[in-house]
Amino acid sequence: EKGGHDYFMLKEIQEQPAGVADTLIGHYAGGRIILDEQRLADQELREFDKVFVVACGSSYHAGLLAKYAIEHWTRLPVEVELASEFRYRDPVLDRSTLVVAISQSGETADTLEAVRHAKEQKARVLAICNTNGAQIPRESDAVLYTRTGPEIGVASTKAFLAQITANYLVGLALAQARGTKYPDEVAREFAQLESMPKLVAQVLESGDRVREIARRFAHVPTVLFLGRHVGYPVALEGALKLKELAYMHAEGFAAGELKHGPIALIEDGLPVFVVMPSAKGRAVLHSKLLSNIREIQARGARTIVIAEDGDDTVRPFADHLIEIPSAPTLYQPLLSTVPLQIFAAEVAQARGYDVDKPRNLAKSVTVE
């Protein structure tokens, strides 16, 4: 049942190309993005003037990525918030607000209560969920299911990649409803999504290299993660994986914040992951991150750099280089997250921990 793996989580990491591909099935036909359930009029979908994304944990990190795509494609303002904060804050909601609730289980108490609060304020709710008929989709006005199959490992892996995919489908559905993207543009983005499973599989093929790096750092006290733009939520997710699986102190930062504090943490031998933006797609950010790597390396950090294949500029500053295939900026997280999952799983195993059942954690957090 674990497909020859020691743990479900390791199998689920390997299932990610299929999880992304399956999430696309049935969501595009006749030149249009299609939701699974829609209990609101097309006109309502067209007339939202604001989007909130609410979620917890890894689903929140996927939500942070939704903001980049939805704002870029629809020009709607998007706020992303932890569900546990949103519901106690009196957010400004009305019937022209769309609340996107992301939950693998569909049963997370904080996210469910955020949905209920939003509905009380007359906002409309769209759920992205991996579990058919769970409470959150049942109480929502529209649903898009991630179709990655049940996730057994407590740490979210394949659900996370499927959520990113689903977020982008929702972004495209809104863009098509609002007319901010022409049908041929929607078709192009969908084709890009369809090309991703093959690239995710390529990243998985280089897993041995990542596992070898992980074993070297398995017993350090702290690991930091830096990223910018879509690489920032990836850094947060990499740190969360390491905390929950390896019980290691790990923090993700927006690289631009380094000089505002975190650089004080850098000391000799400290491993720091850096998620590089594409040199072609984001040249300005790429050069800024290069100078960040230089700065931390000069202060003794051991840099572990995730960069696009053929990005030779990073080589001199990478103590360890993990190459991923090139992809347009918005899609890069589907690739750059994978080595971080493999890293955390390998460190946890090297420390002798059960990666399917990390201590103190439940798969679905149904109490606050």
The catalytic residue positions are 363
By CB under 6 A, residue 154 contacts ligand M6R: yes
By CB under 6 A, residue 341 contacts ligand M6R: no
CB of residue 105 vs ligand M6R: minimum separation in angstroms?
A: 3
CB of residue 15 vs ligand M6R: minimum separation in angstroms?
A: 15
Q: Based on CB atoms, which residue is closest to ligand M6R, 148 or 297?
A: 148
By CB under 6 A, residue 103 contacts ligand M6R: yes
Cβ of 225: how many Cβ atoms within 10 Å?
A: 28
Among 74, 97, 108, 303, binds ligand M6R (CB under 6 A): 108
CA–CA dist 129, 107 (Å, integer): 9
By CB under 6 A, residue 346 contacts ligand M6R: no
Question: Distance from first CA to last CA of the chain, Å, rounded?
Answer: 32
Looking at 55-63, 228-236, 257-265, 311-319, which segment touches ligand M6R (CB under 6 A)? 55-63
CA–CA dist 258, 188 (Å, integer): 36
By CB under 6 A, residue 266 contacts ligand M6R: no
By CB under 6 A, residue 152 contacts ligand M6R: no
Looking at 98-106, 202-210, 218-226, 335-343, which segment touches ligand M6R (CB under 6 A)? 98-106
Among 12, 22, 244, 346, binds ligand M6R (CB under 6 A): 244
Give residue for tokens 């390997």.
14
CA–CA dist 354, 368 (Å, integer): 25
Looking at 46-54, 139-147, 154-162, 284-292, which segment touches ligand M6R (CB under 6 A)? 154-162
By CB under 6 A, residue 165 contacts ligand M6R: no
Q: Based on CB atoms, which residue is closest to ligand M6R, 28 or 168?
A: 168
- 103 with 128: CB under 8 angstroms? yes
Q: Coil, strand, or helix at residue 100?
A: strand
By CB under 6 A, residue 104 contacts ligand M6R: yes
H or E stretch covering 129: strand 124-129
Looking at 11-19, 148-156, 199-207, 281-289, which segment touches ligand M6R (CB under 6 A)? 148-156
Q: 155-180 burial, b for 16+ CB within 10 Å, e for fewer?
A: bbbbbbbbbbbbbbbbbbbbbbbbee
Closest residue by Cα to residue 82 from 65, 51, 59? 59
By CB under 6 A, residue 58 contacts ligand M6R: yes
Looking at 29-37, 97-105, 258-266, 270-278, which segment touches ligand M6R (CB under 6 A)? 97-105
By CB under 6 A, residue 111 contacts ligand M6R: yes
CA–CA dist 366, 124 (Å, integer): 23
CB of residue 6 vs ligand M6R: minimum separation in angstroms?
A: 18
By CB under 6 A, residue 166 contacts ligand M6R: no
Phi, psi for 292 (deg, rounded to 5): -60, -45
CA–CA dist 74, 175 (Å, integer): 5
Q: Based on CB atoms, which residue is closest to ligand M6R, 43 or 360?
A: 360
- 2 with 8: CB under 8 angstroms? yes
Among 20, 35, 45, 56, binds ligand M6R (CB under 6 A): 56
Strand order in the sheet with 320-324: 249-254, 222-227, 271-275, 302-308, 320-324
By CB under 6 A, residue 123 contacts ligand M6R: no
By CB under 6 A, residue 59 contacts ligand M6R: yes
Contacts of 120 (CB under 8 A, 6+ apart): none
Chain contacts with ligand M6R (rule: CB under 6 A) = 56-59, 103-105, 108, 111, 154-156, 244, 361, 364-365
